[in-house]
Amino acid sequence: MAQAADGALSLSLPAKSAIVFPVCVYVYAAFFALLPCVQFTYIHTRPNPLAVVNAQSKTLSKLVRQLKDGCRKDEEPKESTLCGLNPCLKCLQPDILYHLGLDTETTDFPKVFGDVRFVCMGGTPGRMENFAYYLMQEIGLKINAATKLRDMAEGGRRFSMFKVGPVLCASHGMGCPSISILLHELIKTMHHAKCQDPVFIRIGTCGGIGVDPGTVVISSEAVDGRLNPAHEILVQGISVQHASQLDEGLAEEIKSCHDPCTDNHEVIIGRTLCTQDFYEGQARLDGAFCEYTLEAKKTYLEELQNQQVKNIEMESLAFAALTSRANIRSAVVCVAILNRLNGDQIKTPHEVLAKWEKRPQVLVARYIRKILYFNENDSDSEPLEEEECEETPEKTRASQGGAGDTQKAPEVEAE
Ligand SMILES: O=P(O)(O)O[C@H]1O[C@H](CO)[C@@H](O)[C@H]1O
Ligand SMILES: O=c1cc[nH]c(=O)[nH]1
């Protein structure tokens, strides 16, 4: 043994060989002895990579074909899967969706919207446009770099709406009245287009109750200011209440796309308080008017916390009620931008808020990608015959993706 100049101990060459050689032999022997176990574990715990590549390839080809040609007539089902809709809809010829600037006479709904499987909604046009571009990248669809996504609701001059393959991304404004109008027209869109089992997801921001700012809260149910799980509307002067439950299974599925190893924040499921206003409705002390004390506010927020309310926002009641009336699975995924137990004003810098605002988008994009490319129960994902699939490095890379990973789906130029 010799002492190196820097003080570290080192071995002479013959001494090294005497030790290193037997160690190498041992390691190689152990490796080959264990190889069958390793292979067995791999084969039985991971899906067959070729089958996954094939399934993705098939799904992607279908998405690209639909992007180019619209939905083919021979694929069109007779009716949408939505339930409980207005029986008079069939008498409206055409049906004018005023706020979307669309009508059934000038737009071929089955052709344009028949492939929609996900409808994502959020407050602002900018958020939803960004989300549409982000999704495009995440699900592997590309448009020509010089082309912009078209705002399909531009004609209505109220909301924005972008379509990325099977995903519609629409802005809903603030509050239940605004989102209700959009939902009526989007649900009719799904109906006229004969969509099958569309999933609706709201991606938003909220005030947290006892949760760290930056936490993503997925709503288990929406409740009003009295903690009543119903959306109340006045119909011809009479109060009507519609239950505001959300799909528990969907909430769990979305939560399972959280990757605690790479995501630097928590994702939780909890009750959501939906209010009619940002200031007095949410017991803030910083509105133009305030007729209660700090003590009363504290007592109310603590009571919310005791009742498992995790966040406050302004659309979930109408969103939950209208989607469940139509038999649509839906979820509300919001990032908390402050902890209301610590204050009212939003002091977090804009750059940080912008990063937080992406968190629900990332989670929901992973969920959508998982359903599109990794869903074993989906007939679209059935493996192709081997010769039908051309395996490329891009596709192989995507085949290794999973619920929580950050790898991208294969990219295909769609025009
Ligand atoms: O999801 P976003 O649009 O951020 O919604 C939340 O932010 C708005 C208030 O600032 C309300 O509409 C509330 O629900
Ligand atoms: O406190 C908040 C933050 C975002 N959105 C709300 O409705 N309330």
Contacts of 165 by beta carbon, 8 Å cutoff, 6+ apart: 63, 66, 67, 115, 136, 139, 141, 414
- List the pLDDT tens digit at each of the 415 positions of the chain: 333 333 333 333 344 444 444 444 444 444 444 433 333 233 333 445 566 566 666 666 766 666 666 665 556 678 999 999 999 999 999 999 999 999 999 999 999 999 999 999 999 999 999 999 999 999 998 878 888 999 999 999 999 999 999 999 999 999 999 999 999 999 999 999 999 999 999 999 999 999 999 999 999 999 999 999 999 999 999 999 999 999 999 999 999 999 999 999 999 999 999 999 999 999 999 999 999 999 999 999 999 999 999 999 999 999 999 999 999 999 999 999 999 999 999 999 999 999 999 999 999 999 999 999 987 555 444 432 332 322 222 333 233 333 233 344 555 555 4
Q: Is 170 left (phi over 0), alpha (psi -120 to 50) or beta?
A: beta
Mutate to test the pocket of ligand 1, among 314, 319, 358 (most ligand atoms within 8 A of CB): 314
Element of type H or E holding 336: strand 329-339
Q: Identify the pLDDT of residue 88.
A: 96
- The 8-class DSSP code of residue 228 comes to -
Cα 312 to averaged position of ligand 2 atoms, centre (Å): 6
CA 207 to ligand 2 center in whole angstroms: 4
| Range list of H helices, 285-345 | 294-306, 316-325
Q: Which atom of ligand 1 is nearest to the CA of 334?
A: 1
CA atoms of 32 and 43, how far apart (whole Å)? 17
Cβ-contact 49, 398 below 8 angstroms? no
Q: Is 280 helix (H, G, I), strand (E, B) or coil?
A: helix
CA atoms within 13 A on the CB side of 70: 12
The predicted pLDDT at position 146 comes to 80
Ligand 1 atom closest to 174 (CA): 12
**Whole-angstrom distance, CA of residue 378 vs CA of residue 230:** 33
In the reported structure, the alpha carbon of residue 170 is separated from the centroid of ligand 1 by a whole-number distance in angstroms of 14
Counting from 1 in the atom list of ligand 1, the atom nearest the Cα of 205 is: 4
- Spatial distance between the Cα atoms of 128 and 39, rounded to a whole number of angstroms: 44
Query: Of ligand 1's atoms, which has the minimum distance to the CA of residue 202?
Result: 1
Residue nearest to atom 4 of ligand 2 (CA): 206
Q: Which of 282, 277, 313 is nearest to 300 (CA)?
A: 282
CA 312 to each of CA 160, 301, 382: distance values in angstroms, whole numbers, following the listed order: 24, 10, 41
Q: Which ligand is nearest to the CA of 207?
A: 2
Instruction: Find, among 148, 124, 123, the residue nearest to 136 by Cα.
Output: 148
Ligand nearest to the CA of 178: 1
Q: The pTM is what? A: 0.80
Distance (Å, rounded) from C-alpha 123 to C-alpha 378? 31
CA 403 to chain centre: 12
Fold classified for 49-376 = Rossmann fold (3.40.50)
Residues 6+ apart with CB under 8 A from 60: 140, 373, 409, 410, 412
Nearest ligand for residue 176 CA: 1
Q: How many CB atoms lie within 10 A of CB 31?
A: 10
75: burial class by Cβ within 10 Å (0-12, 13-18, 19+)? exposed
Decide the pairing of beta strands 238-243 and 199-208. unpaired
Pairwise CA distance, residues 329 & 285, whole Å: 36
Q: Are strands 267-274 and 238-243 parallel, antiparallel or unpaired?
A: unpaired
Q: Are 321 and 192 in contact (CB under 8 A)?
A: no
Residue 3's contacts (CB-CB under 8 Å, 6 or more residues apart) are 9, 10
What are the residue boundaries of the structural domains of the chain, listed by start? 49-376
Q: Please give the C-alpha separations between residue 157 and each of 99, 153, 397, in angstroms, as whole numbers.
A: 7, 7, 41
Ligand 2 pocket residue status of 206, Cβ below 6 Å: yes
